[in-house]
Amino acid sequence: KAGVTQTPRYLIKTRGQQVTLSCSPISGHRSVSWYQQTPGQGLQFLFEYFSETQRNKGNFPGRFSGRQFSNSRSEMNVSTLELGDSALYLCASGGTGQNEQFFGPGTRLTVL
Amino acid sequence: GQQLNQSPQSMFIQEGEDVSMNCTSSSIFNTWLWYKQEPGEGPVLLIALYKAGELTSNGRLTAQFGITRKDSFLNISASIPSDVGIYFCAGQLSGSARQLTFGSGTQLTVLP
């Protein structure tokens, strides 16, 4: 079974721009969660989608948004980028059984 | 928000030694997950725990779900150089869908 894939792996943007990141979960998994990882704050939950519906949202500003498509692929968007948005963005894929979650390799976003 | 206290923050051990790390919380979790992350990669799931008191092994790794449901520990026996990495605990609250709360990580260094 193929693992979780995320594209792109690396991105460099400037302040004020927007960015879209993509995540394809493990085949058959319908839950996709997004996390932000920074040295200062660690791993923090952004949001979770299940069957195209956002089920849960973390404590991030409205500039962070996401969606999920019918094939379970998910995208997250960050608008009006700030320097503090530089981070590793990870998505996690979950099945319908136990609560295990499997992470992709992440997208490293650098905001200049 | 919820917090997980993970300790120790870092460990330097000799190859062949056993390692122990733990996480505690003021909240009750219904799932505990342990991950390992290496540079430039996403976290890799090592062990998942679903019931209070559960003790689960995965090769040289053993983890337990605390009886109070507020803590968990991970042991690594007979450490080897490839055990180097950052180990994270993650807990999931009941009713939080797939939202994980992460510990701050334990950086493990194995000296030859």
For residue A2, the model assigns a pLDDT of: 76
Let me know how long chain A is.
Answer: 112
Q: How far apart are CA B88 and CA B36, in angstroms?
A: 6
- From the number of C-beta atoms within 10 Å of its C-beta (0-12, 13-18, 19+), residue B86 rates as middle
Asked if B51 has any chain A CB less than 8 Å from its own CB, the reply is: no
Mean per-residue pLDDT for A76-98? 93
In the predicted structure, residue A98 carries a pLDDT above the cut 70: yes
Contact A100 B102 (CB under 8 A): no
Nearest chain B Cα distance for residue A99, angstroms:
7
DSSP helix/strand/coil, B112: coil
For residue A1, the model assigns a pLDDT of: 62
| Contact predicate A98/B32, CB 8 Å | no
- From the number of C-beta atoms within 10 Å of its C-beta (0-12, 13-18, 19+), residue B79 rates as buried
DSSP helix/strand/coil, A83: helix
Mean per-residue pLDDT for B80-96? 92
Residues of B within 8 A of A9 (CB-CB) are none
A34-80 confidence digits (pLDDT tens): 999 999 999 999 999 999 999 999 999 999 999 999 999 999 999 99
Contact A55 B98 (CB under 8 A): yes
Long-range contacts of residues A69-72, Cβ cutoff 8 Å, at least 24 apart:
A72/A24, A72/A25, A72/A29, A72/A30, A72/A32
Residues of A within 8 A of B96 (CB-CB) are 56
| Contact predicate B94/B28, CB 8 Å | yes
Nearest chain B Cα distance for residue A10, angstroms:
11
Asked if B14 has any chain A CB less than 8 Å from its own CB, the reply is: no
Residues of A within 8 A of B50 (CB-CB) are 98-99
**CA closest to A95 among chain B residues:** B98
Contact B42 A4 (CB under 8 A): yes
Asked if B33 has any chain A CB less than 8 Å from its own CB, the reply is: yes
Q: How far apart are CA B53 and CA B69, in angstroms?
A: 8
